[in-house]
Structure 1
Amino acid sequence: MDQPGPIARPLRDRLTIPVLASGGILMAVMQTVVVPLLPDLPRLTGASASTVSWMVTATLLAGAVLTPVLGRAGDMYGKRRVLTASLALMTVGSVMCALSSDIGVLIAARALQGAAASVVPLSISILRDELPPERRGSAVALMSSTVGIGAALGLPLAALVVQYADWHTMFWTTSALGALGVAAVWWAVKESPVREPGRFDVLGTLGLAAGLISLLLAVSQGGQRGWDSPRIIGLFAATVVVLALWWWQQLRAERPLVDLRLVTRPRVGLSHVAALLTGFAFYANSLVTAQLVQAPKATGYGLQLSIVATGLCLLPGGVTMLLFSPLSARISAARGPRITLALGAAVIACGYAVRIADSRDLWMIILGATVVATGTTLAYSALPTLILRAVPAGQTASANGVNVLMRTIGQAVSSAAVAAVLVHHSSPVGGIPVPTLHGYLLAFGMAGGVALAACAAALTIPGDEPAAGRTPSDAGEARGTRDEAMEEA
């Protein structure tokens, strides 16, 4: 019997990709909207600046811990079910922010919103399970790019609300969008029949949470407290001990939270290394660009742009990510995802070369930031395809959750490293320490160097080109089936 064409497909099937993509964009917007508020939150909440910074740190910590956990839960109990719960927690957190000005409530709410970090890996796994091979590549590329698209859209939109309306309005808006997203996923997305049954690894979950919290607290707070402070050194030491014990426990667990034997395979492990390095290189672009264009004109290089204008500088990068995600899928189909990943990392490095060449003219700043965004699209779109082709079908959500976790750790380290460089290279302007242009150029050079390291890591991933007459997705399914058979044997 002939398969129904695109027009004959039920409306729900045709809306699966747009609904999942909108969920990824909403997640990224939710993470970004608080950024324009940070300078004013101490006045609005009566809390100190260091306390207010936890509105970012809490989301980062919760997302890092929950992403692999919810990915594993999705493989076990149903990906749509866990995806809906993640979006619902994000929406509840947004409602809490809309109703309160108490800093304790706001931090707790932002931690709830961190659950949404699992939206992208869960959605990618659903796409693998539900879509035919010929549609899968472009859909996965678009889904992976939603992180950058949402971040680029969220900043100017949030800045407009902050500038022209009460700041609670922003969270009421995201609450309404979140509720709509939950309803749309429940209506348009089918529950995946692919499951990986077993008992949930509670001990492994607690161990991973403790290790990641220690690591990310040390990285995020080291710049403020001093890298040689006893508390930071103690956190790093605790990280090493806890994660070593967690690794030992995972290797002996019957149904581990993270299959470390799978992670240590070169095709999977090197993909995670490349994700960490790419996350570092990508995140520096947003951090540095926003500060650079808002610097006072008295510095000699600053443009003293408003928050809204700053957000608009990053908007072309978001549009570029949307437009280039189909190109990434085509390159991966023709040359393989590892080549796409290496190309993306190289383009990121070229973008930072543009930033180093000229960071005074606005059009060159926007051009450099857009080139970095283009490379990020290629790299981020290739990473989940590499993972999908390297792991069994029943472990796609948890494996992609680990990959997103590595990006998150890369972003956290990038934030700390960029802050350390800019603080070290500052000079007073009007009595206030402001980073020098040399400091910004060093940050660009550091991020570009890491991007080149990501390119090298991508090229060392074992090649896995599909045979003639087979699509990359077909080849990946065959390999996943073969791996599962070998493991059962």
Structure 2
Amino acid sequence: MTMHRPATQRRPGLIVAVLAMTGVVATGIQTLIVPLLGQLPSLLDASAADTAWVVTVTLLTSAVAVPISGRLGDMLGKRAVMIASLVPLIAGSVVCALSVSLGAMVVGRGLQGLGLGVVPLGISLLREVMPPQRIGSAVATMSASMGIGGALGLPFAAIVGQTTNWRIMFWTFAGLAVVALALLVWIVPAGHRPTPRPRFDTRGAVGLSLGLVSLLLGISRGASWGWLSLPTLTCAGLAVVCLSLWAAHQLHAGAPLVNLRSLSDRRVALANLVGLLISFCTYPLSYVIPQILQLPASTGYGLGQSMVAMALWLAPGGLAMLAIAPVSARLSARFGPRTTLSLGALVIAAGYVSTWWLMGSPWGLMIVVALCNVGVGMAYAAIPLILMDAVPPAETASANGFNTLCRAIGTSVAGAVIGGALAASATQVDTFTAPSAPALHAVLLVGVGLGGLACLLAWAIPRAPQTGSPAPALVGAGQGTRS
């Protein structure tokens, strides 16, 4: 128990709002750079290949930070680690705002990536500081913050980038992060800390970091380096060696960074696999659909929208994730999170199917994105409930952090596979390099197939074992031991 508990019960809505705002700020920072990508070479006096590191470095640092911050959250307290994570995020935003060179921008974006563990930490903290009957809806709202951040961050960055000084957007998010930090300290209770405190697995953290950096670096840069080039193969080899040694260490460590033995529980293993598949499915929403909106009509399928118009057409999709949050919570309460997860994956597949009729107009694509994001919101609201029911309270943040890592890997693999496939089919149309229409249809068809597979795997998640008392996560979702 914690001394803040009575205060928590008097203001649960405010606590959820603060944690969700923190998640919106953190995830919004990821999309800030998108409108600047084409201008970065001239802004930073560097080549396009070099400025790609501005995106890559955030991916690498966040992949390392998320599982480590999750474990530290279980050890030191989730709120304390959330506060600590916001410090490099703020510092990185300031560095980016002041950058006049590529090196400074890369450093700033790397620091921002270190703060992206706040979303799984916030979801895990809800288990400790919310009244049991509010956990399900709170988790759904917090999960939706991932979509809202991207949905609002992109149009904001596009408008600022085209109408005023691009540095303003980094200063704005730095200020928002400072406000989020202050509200965390002032409003959100600390939650629990284990006693005695477990030891931190330094060897595991180093091994996982080396393995993930090698893996994601090879995936993200393989297309530009060449998939059979020495740098790419070296990264692949290092990833296999480091991650194999890391997994062996985790299975024998007394206090592992990530409890891989929990993967023997089919609920945990399938929830992580479904999370990876769904993150793969979401990639076309942020890569393929924007291209269709912006490419000229002379391509045969482009809709000729500006960057700002494209961002505004996509924005309602993120808000759809927020709108579906209370519905997801009620579905999980009534039928169990497994059903919500399976239905969410099915909605994603249906969204991609609808592209065959709705690809011809911006309104149609807005509906497609909103429909897919409804499914994503349902899925991401259900996965933490499944994990919290399956793992001990002392491993909640680690489990959610590992799931976030699985989703990051899914997105990275999707970027390499889809980006490579579309690049291979690209042709010159006027002054634009555009992928072929059949390649785009094939990518969307993959979204249908993987969404359907995720639906089946979600339905295969077993029911929670019956116990004498209800599991915390499921009580929080408003149900007993049904799943």
Query: Shared fold (TM-score greater than 0.5)?
Result: yes
Between 89-98 and 447-456, the greater mean CA deviation after superposition: 447-456
Q: How does 1:91-170 map to 2 (within 5 A)?
A: 91-170=90-169
User: Structure 2 length as normaliser, TM-score?
Assistant: 0.94
User: Which digits, 9 at most, give the CA deviation of each residue in 1:345-402, with x for residues without a partner?
Assistant: 1100111111133422222111111111111011111111111111001110111000
Residues 117-141 of structure 1, C-alpha deviations (whole Å, 9 max, x = no match)? 2111111111101111111100001
AA aligned opposite 2:160: V
- Give the residue type in structure 2 aligned to 1:202: T
For 1:262-273, list aligned pairs within 5 A: 262-273=262-273
Deviation of 1:14 (Å): 4.4
Distance in 2, matches of 1:430 and 1:14, equals 53
Q: Secondary structure at the match of 1:80?
A: helix
User: How much identity, in percent, do the aligned residues show?
Assistant: 42
How far has the Cα of 1:469 moved from its partner? 11
Residue pairs, 1:54-73, within 5 angstroms:
54-73=53-72
Q: What amino acid maps onto 1:314 in structure 2?
A: L
CA contact (8 A) 2:318 2:373 kept: yes
Cα distance in structure 2, aligned partners of 1:272 and 1:442: 25
1:362 aligns with 2:329: no
| Alpha-carbon separation, structure 2, partners of 1:76 and 1:99 | 35
Q: Which amino acid aligns with 1:252?
A: H
CA distance in 1 between partners of 2:277 and 2:115 (Å): 22
Q: Is the 8 A contact 1:55 1:110 kept in 2?
A: yes
Provide the residue aligned with 2:449 in structure 1.
449
Contact 1:321 1:374 in 2 (8 A): yes
Query: Per-residue deviation at 1:452?
Result: 1.5
Q: CA distance change for structure 1 residues 248 and 465 in 2, over 3 Å: closer, same or farther? A: closer
Quote the Cα distance in structure 1 between the aligned partners of 2:168 and 2:466: 50
CA contact (8 A) 1:421 1:442 kept: no
Paired residues of 1:19 and 1:185 also in contact (CA < 8 A): yes
CA contact (8 A) 1:389 1:476 kept: no
Deviations 1:86-114 (A, max 9, x none): 11211110011111221111111111111
Q: Which amino acid aligns with 2:108?
A: A
Partner secondary structure for residue 117 of structure 1: coil
Partner of 1:173: 172
**How do residues 40-439 of structure 1 correspond to structure 2 at under 5 angstroms?**
40-195=39-194, 197-430=197-430, 432-439=432-439
User: What is the Cα-based RMSD across aligned positions, in Å?
Assistant: 2.2
Q: Using the alignment, how far apart are the partners of 2:338 and 2:14 within structure 1? A: 29
Counterpart code for 2:316 = P
Name the aligned partner's letter for residue 315 of structure 2: L
Q: Which TM-score applies when normalising by structure 1?
A: 0.93
Offset, 1:266 = 1.0
Residue 431 of structure 1: CA displacement?
5.3
Q: How many residues are aligned here?
A: 473
Letter in structure 2 aligned against 1:349: A
Provide the secondary structure at the position in 1 that maps to 2:463. Answer: coil
Shift of 1:234: 2.1
Contact between 2:133 and 2:475, CA under 8 Å: does it hold in 1? Answer: no
1:128 and 1:154 map into 2 onto residues whose CA distance is 28
* Paired residues of 2:135 and 2:476 also in contact (CA < 8 A): no
- C-alpha contact (below 8 Å) 1:133/1:471 kept by paired residues: no
Query: Partners of 1:210 and 1:453 in 2: how far apart?
Result: 31
Q: Is the 8 A contact 1:87 1:182 kept in 2?
A: yes
Distance in 2 of aligned mates of 1:24 and 1:183: 14
Residues 25-51 of structure 1: CA deviation (Å, up to 9, x unaligned): 111111111111111111111011111
Q: Do the aligned residues in 2 keep the contact of 1:271 with 1:387 (CA within 8 Å)?
A: yes
Q: Are the equivalent residues in 2 in contact too, given 1:466–1:475 (CA < 8 A)?
A: no
Question: Would you say the 8 A contact 2:324–2:378 is kept in 1?
Answer: yes
Deviation at 1:275, TM superposition (A): 0.8
Give 2:3's aligned residue: none
For structure 2, list consecutive stretches of 5 or more residues without a partner in the other structure.
1-5, 478-483
Residue 461 of structure 2 corresponds to 461
Gapped regions of structure 1 (runs ≥ 5): 1-5, 478-489
Q: Distance in 2 between matches of 1:132 and 1:476?
A: 8
**Superposition deviation, residue 437 in structure 1:** 1.8
Contact persistence 1:387–1:399 (CA under 8 A): yes
Q: Structure 2: how far apart are the matches of 1:193 and 1:312? A: 41
In structure 2, relative to structure 1, the CA distance for the partners of 1:357 and 1:47 (3 Å cut) is same
**Would you say the 8 A contact 2:426–2:433 is kept in 1?**
yes
Q: Describe the shift of the 1:142–1:163 C-alpha distance in structure 2 as closer, same or farther (beyond 3 A).
A: same
Letter in 2 for 1:318: G
Does the Cα contact within 8 Å between 2:275 and 2:403 map onto a contact in 1?
yes
1:20: which partner in 2? 19
SS in 2 for 1:19: helix
1:322 & 1:141 partners in 2: Cα distance? 8
